[in-house]
Amino acid sequence: MASTDLTTNSYYSLNALGNAVCALVELAELIPQEDNYSSLLRIIADRLEGEFTAVRNDTIKLWGPVESKRERAER
């Protein structure tokens, strides 16, 4: 079972990273296609977004349910 504090901190960190990834994706969409690095930035943003989604989903699975104080006392 995951610790509540660790889960909460991880959740906030994961959300912050997700916001940064979303910002990069949005920035890549704003750069004109005529720009020399437009294609590179779009590819990097798309791959990063895909990898982040996979990591987020795996992390959420690892957290599992958190035991309450009563459940711990009953063990």
pTM of the model: 0.72
**Every domain of the chain and the residues it spans:** 4-66
User: What torsion, rounded to 10 degrees, do the Cα atoms 66, 70, 72, 75 define?
Assistant: -130
Alpha carbon distance 56, 17 (integer Å) = 10
Q: Pick left, alpha or beta for residue 24 (phi over 0 → left; psi -120 to 50 → alpha; otherwise beta).
A: alpha
Q: What is the pLDDT along the chain (75 residues), one digit of tens a residue?
A: 456 677 888 889 999 999 999 999 999 999 999 999 999 999 999 999 999 999 999 998 888 776 677 777 777
**b/e code 33-50 from CB counts within 10 Å (16+ = b):** eeeeeeeebbeebeeebe
